[in-house]
A and B are shown apart, each in its own frame.
Chain A
Amino acid sequence: MSWAIEIEDLTVAYQQQPVLWDVDVVIPSGQMTAIVGPNGAGKSTLLKAVLGIVRPAAGRIRVLGRPFRAQERRVAYVPQRADLDWDFPATVFDVALMGTYGRVGWLRRPGPAEHALARTALERVGMTNLADRPIGQLSGGQQQRVLLARALAQEADIYLLDEPFQGVDAPTEATLLEVLRWLKQQGKTIVVVHHDLSTVAEYFDWVVLLNVQCIACGPVGEAFTPDNLRRTYGGRMVTPVLSTTSA
């Protein structure tokens, strides 16, 4: 199996407080990986460290076998919806087009090729008819679709998504999942910070259980065990979810 992302001995600290501590994680190419763990486990920070947005205190990260800096345009990021200012003056199409900014280069404007990419991406997430709508008028599910469209327009090889299923309606969840599965068919690597333990086995191939340290990392069938979950979530795990996953 080839690795899309290899993380070795990664430590990240905010104000002396470790958010990630001595984390070793590998993520396989061409598969769908879930990162799960309780609040404050460092899930988002792990994505941001891979993207080079936060600076690690220690450790090595390799993306497609090389340091991230050399690979930035091949990795697309879908941030948490709540991190953005949706009152920003922009239309749905504007946001999708931002995905192409990396390939356009300095001092140039997106051209017909980039506009086509943005349109195709919006079509893929079912937002074509809302292209001219100000983003301030979108529902939560529509916001999430736009952010995914922006990542699609980037035409990356690896997609890192932070809680894409958080608070979206059922049709959006279905659309998002469909798009992610389509990406997987294209041989892309998908990494999702995920909060709904009951869908992990159904949606994902590989799982990373994280709570500041990496508790387990492997194929869902091997790593997603009641025992590992209890170690990840401490005593706070609710058993009904465990029973569905062990079934």
Chain B
Amino acid sequence: MDFTLRIVMTGAALLGLISGSLGTLAVLRRQGLIGDTVAHAALPGIVLAFLLSGSKASVVLQLGAAISGTLAMLWVQSVVRTTRIRFDAALGMALAVFFGLGVVLLSAAQHTAGAAQAGLDRFLFGQAATLLREDLLTMAVTGALALGLVLVFWKEVKLVLFDEAYAAALGLPVRWLQTLLIILLVVAIVIGLQTVGVVLMIAVIIAPAAAARQWSSRYGRVLLLAGLFGLLSGALGAWISNLAPRLPTGPIIVLLLTVLVLLSVLVAPARGLLWQRYRRRRARATAQQAVVAVLQELAHHHPEDYPHPTATIQAALGANVPVEAILRDLERRGKVQHKPGQGWHLTNPPHTP
């Protein structure tokens, strides 16, 4: 594997690990969509940072992204506080306004200041091939700091995510922890913009968490799994996008993540759809056996084709068993017979002693 590809894949893997696990915090707080606004709102910051500094160094551009993303969030908060506009509407508004501004600035900059050479448009859909070694270093350091904070404030963060009011009642500085969570979300997003782009960044925040949640019901494991899923999709996505020239990385990573989510929803144990279907089927088989057992019991005291009312069978099994539906099912399969207005009996009753 050549050197550039190794850098690119490492970078994308790092981004997946960091954004996937940090994004989980936002998803568990039911605030994943905030990430979409922060990501889109980063664009004007990136362009302005380039125009003001003349530098195309990732650190400078990322700083611009973080500032304008945060400004958008602050704006949303003040709109919600001071007007009757609701949170989701404010989020959408901020996203549209900031992103619109970003696109205008981007096209203006490309005509005037040679932004095309700086490759600013890579921030729209992401281009992992533009990652440099020093970008990796920035990502690793920022990511380590952010994940370190999650570890240091592990139980406090967990409690605030699950039950803010109780955390406040215990005396935890909830306001401060909320701010920390927003900062972590901004870090999770800014770190991935160059590789995934502002438009699709939200998927790297939400999809790993959505997939991981299917596999585990433990907080720590969900975080870890989300990080791993992000890491895998990032590395693989970067590798695939390297196969053809000018293949944007963002959409490929997002497609991989989508497959991962679909697979998880389908096959994960306990929560997966296939598993649930299997369990439903087994429950139905057990219930059918129970109904047949009741009819056999009744057949001992009555003539073979003596019909028993549904209520008699129901009473033996309790109100929770859908006896009527099970009997119809058994009838279709020829196991029981129905005498309208009278009741049910087995098609092949056991030999009476």
Are A77 and B166 interface neighbours, CB within 8 A?
Answer: yes
A2 to chain B, nearest CB (A): 23
> Which residues of chain A have C-beta atoms less than 8 A from B169's C-beta?
51-53, 72, 75-77
B residues 199-238 near A (Cβ < 8 Å) are: 213, 216-219, 221-222
B residues 136-164 near A (Cβ < 8 Å) are: 152, 154-156, 158-159, 161-163
Are A79 and B218 interface neighbours, CB within 8 A?
Answer: no
Give the tally of cross-chain contacts (CB within 8 A): 76
* Docked CA distance A98–B167 (Å): 9
Cross-interface CB contact of A136 among B30, B156, B158, B217, cutoff 8 Å? B217
Are A88 and B170 interface neighbours, CB within 8 A?
Answer: no
- Decide if A202 is an interface residue (CB 8 Å cutoff): no
Known: A98-B159, A107-B152, A110-B155. A90 touches B217 (CB 8 A): yes
Are A79 and B30 interface neighbours, CB within 8 A?
Answer: no
Cross-interface CB contact of B218 among A84, A91, A104, cutoff 8 Å? A91
- Decide if A134 is an interface residue (CB 8 Å cutoff): yes
Q: A98-B166, A107-B152 are in contact. List 17 more A-B contacts (CB 8 A).
A: A51-B169, A52-B168, A52-B169, A53-B168, A77-B165, A77-B166, A77-B169, A87-B213, A88-B28, A89-B216, A89-B219, A91-B217, A101-B155, A101-B156, A101-B170, A109-B154, A136-B217
* Docked CA distance A121–B152 (Å): 27
Are A134 and B217 interface neighbours, CB within 8 A?
Answer: yes
> Which residues of chain B have C-beta atoms less than 8 A from A69's C-beta?
171
Q: Is the interface of B mostly helix, strand, loop or mixed?
A: helix
> Which residues of chain A have C-beta atoms less than 8 A from B152's C-beta?
107
* Docked CA distance A94–B158 (Å): 10
Known: A72-B170, A94-B219, A110-B155. A88 touches B165 (CB 8 A): no
Residue of B nearest to A151 (CB): B166
Residue of A nearest to B81 (CB): A15
- Decide if A73 is an interface residue (CB 8 Å cutoff): yes
- Decide if A102 is an interface residue (CB 8 Å cutoff): yes
> Which residues of chain A have C-beta atoms less than 8 A from B170's C-beta?
72-73, 101-102, 154
> Which residues of chain B have C-beta atoms less than 8 A from A76's C-beta?
169
A225 to chain B, nearest CB (A): 33
- Decide if A227 is an interface residue (CB 8 Å cutoff): no
> Which residues of chain B have C-beta atoms less than 8 A from A101's C-beta?
155-156, 159, 170, 172
B111 to chain A, nearest CB (A): 47
* Docked CA distance A106–B172 (Å): 10
Residue of A nearest to B161 (CB): A88
Residue of B nearest to A134 (CB): B217
* Docked CA distance A242–B172 (Å): 43
A residues 93-114 near B (Cβ < 8 Å) are: 94-95, 98, 101-102, 104, 106-107, 109-110
* Docked CA distance A219–B155 (Å): 41
* Docked CA distance A104–B158 (Å): 14
* Docked CA distance A79–B161 (Å): 15
Are B162 and A90 interface neighbours, CB within 8 A?
Answer: yes
A residues 64-80 near B (Cβ < 8 Å) are: 69, 72-73, 75-77, 79
Contact with B along A144-156 (1 / 0, CB 8 A): 0000001000100
- Decide if A195 is an interface residue (CB 8 Å cutoff): no
Residue of B nearest to A50 (CB): B169
B283 to chain A, nearest CB (A): 15
* Docked CA distance A79–B165 (Å): 8
Residue of B nearest to A72 (CB): B171
* Docked CA distance A113–B219 (Å): 22
Are A84 and B163 interface neighbours, CB within 8 A?
Answer: yes
> Which residues of chain B have C-beta atoms less than 8 A from A109's C-beta?
154-155
> Which residues of chain B have C-beta atoms less than 8 A from A85's C-beta?
28, 30, 162
A-B pairs with beta carbons under 8 Å apart, 22 shown? A51-B165, A52-B168, A53-B165, A72-B170, A73-B170, A77-B166, A84-B162, A85-B30, A88-B161, A88-B162, A88-B219, A89-B219, A89-B221, A90-B218, A91-B217, A91-B218, A98-B159, A98-B166, A101-B172, A102-B170, A109-B154, A135-B217
- Decide if A60 is an interface residue (CB 8 Å cutoff): no
> Which residues of chain A have C-beta atoms less than 8 A from B156's C-beta?
101, 106
- Decide if A231 is an interface residue (CB 8 Å cutoff): no
Are A79 and B166 interface neighbours, CB within 8 A?
Answer: yes
* Docked CA distance A85–B155 (Å): 17
* Docked CA distance A88–B159 (Å): 11
5 smallest beta-carbon distances between A and B, as pairs: A134-B217, A72-B171, A77-B169, A102-B170, A51-B169
Highest count of chain A CB atoms <10 Å: which of B154, B168, B213, B221: B168
B68 to chain A, nearest CB (A): 29
Are A89 and B218 interface neighbours, CB within 8 A?
Answer: yes
* Docked CA distance A98–B154 (Å): 12
Contact with B along A129-173 (1 / 0, CB 8 A): 000001110000000000000100010000000000000000000
Are A102 and B28 interface neighbours, CB within 8 A?
Answer: no
A83 to chain B, nearest CB (A): 7
> Which residues of chain B have C-beta atoms less than 8 A from A52's C-beta?
168-169
Are B217 and A104 interface neighbours, CB within 8 A?
Answer: no
Residue of A nearest to B30 (CB): A85
* Docked CA distance A85–B163 (Å): 8
* Docked CA distance A190–B171 (Å): 20
* Docked CA distance A53–B168 (Å): 6
> Which residues of chain A have C-beta atoms less than 8 A from B159's C-beta?
98, 101
Are B163 and A79 interface neighbours, CB within 8 A?
Answer: yes
A69 to chain B, nearest CB (A): 8
- Decide if A119 is an interface residue (CB 8 Å cutoff): no
> Which residues of chain B have C-beta atoms less than 8 A from A53's C-beta?
165, 168-169
